[in-house]
């Protein structure tokens, strides 16, 4: 794919978000949520798609960020930016502390440990109702204006622009990271861990770093959800959130930042559209899409689109 075409497609992607702001004003709350989930899937991509470490418990960090930012605001500090950073810090700290457990043993062991940690956090949030509101959810989250200027409005305008801006900035940072020597080392670890060790890479330290980074990203996504909806329910820590994110990532294309975001968008839009049409049946269609993409080859939708473009361009 030529550089000009690549740039045009990226401009189209971000321009599409901006266009949606004007074209779909009644859907802004949903669009804000899509941007947030796109950020969450992006965080998963750093870990799964680039470093090749599969997790089934990534909702743990999303939920930690959501509760951290939500509780901070509920307790009287409603400043949004510091709330995001607080959510990121809490998630990153737990990521850093649990990384040695998760990275111990083989891939399957790690997978089970991620699952176990997320389950424990879910149950802890359920039991600690005095802090989290338990099954009723966290009430009384009140946000201040962003930079003292933009108030969170009923129509979700501020929520959307805020979420999208955070997504864009963190995408830029992620793009820098994956193109850096550190990012290449992650791809090396995914590709061949034994060789990386033989090249002198402290593989475990690199994995701890990306696990913590990915946790921080997920924490920010969770914090965004808490701030823009001014509510946190136990759902943020639910297993289905981890599983759905993995599904979105595979759907869109692992190891590509746009693949991650595209997967989230398509999944969320399809979820919304299909569940209105056939409420019980929408997972059936997602299942069909997954099978079709798996048969069509690796790289999810983005990989498929790239191959089609290459064939078309080759003629």
Partner 1 sequence: MSTAVLETDGLTRHFGGFTAVDKVSLSLSAGARHALIGPNGAGKTTFVNLLTGALSASAGTVRLLGQDVTALPQHKRIKRGLARTFQINQLFAELTPLEAVSLAIAEREGLSARWWKPLSAHAAIAAEARALLDGLRMPAADAASATAGLPYGRQRLLEIALALALKPRVLLLDEPAAGVPPSESREILDSIAALPREVAVLLIEHDMDLVFRFAERITVLAQGAILAEGEPAAIAADPRVKEAYLGEAAHG
**Pick from 47, 185, 224, 226: which binds partner 1 (CB under 8 A)?**
185
CB of 182 vs partner 1, minimal distance in Å: 4
Complex with partner 1: residue 24 or 205, whichever CB lies closer: 205
**Pick from 129, 184, 273, 291: which binds partner 1 (CB under 8 A)?**
184
CA atoms of 232 and 138, how far apart (whole Å): 5
CB of 183 vs partner 1, minimal distance in Å: 7
- Could you write out the DSSP letters of every residue in 220-242? HHHHHHHHHHT-B-GGGG-HHHH
Question: 170 with 217: CB under 8 angstroms?
Answer: yes
Complex with partner 1: residue 165 or 192, whichever CB lies closer: 192
Residue 286 burial (CB count, 10 A):
18
Count of alpha carbons within 13 Å of 9, Cβ hemisphere only? 13
Binding-site size, partner 1 (CB under 8 A): 25
CA atoms of 253 and 247, how far apart (whole Å): 10
Q: Which of residues 249-308 bind partner 1 (CB under 8 A)?
A: none
- Could you write out the DSSP letters of every residue in 38-75? HHHHHHHHIIIIIT----S-THHHHHHHHHHHHHHHHT
**Pick from 106, 200, 279, 314: which binds partner 1 (CB under 8 A)?**
200
- Tell me the window of 11-19, 93-101, 116-124, 174-182 that interacts with partner 1 (CB under 8 A): 174-182
CB of 197 vs partner 1, minimal distance in Å: 5
Complex with partner 1: residue 176 or 294, whichever CB lies closer: 176
**Pick from 82, 180, 278, 283: which binds partner 1 (CB under 8 A)?**
180
Binding flag, residue 209, partner 1 (CB under 8 A): yes
**Pick from 106, 194, 277, 279: which binds partner 1 (CB under 8 A)?**
194
Task: List CB contacts of 160: < 8 A, sequence separation 6 or more.
Answer: 21, 28, 29, 31, 32, 35
Closest CA to 168 of 35, 32, 41: 35
**Pick from 168, 182, 282, 285: which binds partner 1 (CB under 8 A)?**
182
Closest CA to 243 of 62, 25, 6: 62
CB of 128 vs partner 1, minimal distance in Å: 35
Complex with partner 1: residue 85 or 177, whichever CB lies closer: 177
Number of H helices, E strands in the chain: 14, 0
Complex with partner 1: residue 165 or 180, whichever CB lies closer: 180
Q: Report helix, strand or coil for 184.
A: helix
Binding flag, residue 187, partner 1 (CB under 8 A): yes
Question: 226 with 33: CB under 8 angstroms?
Answer: no
- List residues binding partner 1 (CB under 8 A): 176-177, 179-185, 187-188, 191-192, 194-195, 197-203, 205-206, 209
């Amino acid at each position: 794919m030529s550089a000009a075409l690549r740039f045009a497609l990226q401009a189209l992607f971000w321009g599409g978000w901006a266009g949606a702001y004007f074209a779909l004003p009644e859907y802004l709350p949903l669009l804000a949520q899509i941007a947030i989930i796109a950020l969450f899937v992006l965080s998963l991509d750093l870990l799964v798609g680039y470093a090749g470490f599969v997790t089934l418990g990534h909702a743990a960090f999303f939920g930690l960020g959501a509760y951290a930012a939500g509780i901070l605001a509920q307790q009287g500090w409603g400043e949004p930016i510091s709330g995001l950073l607080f959510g990121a810090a809490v998630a990153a700290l737990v990521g850093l502390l649990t990384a040695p457990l998760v990275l111990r043993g083989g891939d399957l062991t790690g997978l089970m440990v991620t699952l176990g940690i997320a389950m424990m956090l879910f149950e802890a949030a359920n039991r600690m109702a005095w802090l989290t509101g338990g099954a009723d959810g966290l009430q009384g989250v009140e946000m201040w204006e962003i930079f003292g200027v933009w108030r969170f409005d009923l129509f979700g305008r501020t929520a959307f622009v805020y979420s999208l801006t955070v997504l864009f900035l963190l995408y830029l940072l992620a793009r820098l990271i994956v193109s850096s020597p550190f990012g290449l080392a992650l791809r090396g670890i995914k590709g061949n861990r034994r060789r990386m060790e033989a090249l002198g890479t402290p593989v475990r330290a690199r994995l701890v770093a990306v696990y913590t980074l990915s946790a921080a990203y997920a924490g920010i996504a969770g914090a965004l959800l808490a701030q823009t909806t001014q509510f946190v329910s136990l759902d943020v820590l639910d297993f289905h959130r981890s599983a759905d994110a993995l599904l979105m990532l595979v759907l869109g294309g692992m190891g590509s930042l746009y693949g991650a975001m595209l997967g989230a968008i398509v999944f969320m839009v399809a979820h919304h559209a299909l569940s209105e049409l056939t409420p019980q049946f929408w997972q059936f269609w997602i299942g069909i899409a997954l099978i079709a993409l798996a048969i069509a080859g690796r790289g999810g939708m983005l990989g498929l689109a790239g191959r089609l473009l290459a064939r078309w361009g080759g003629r």
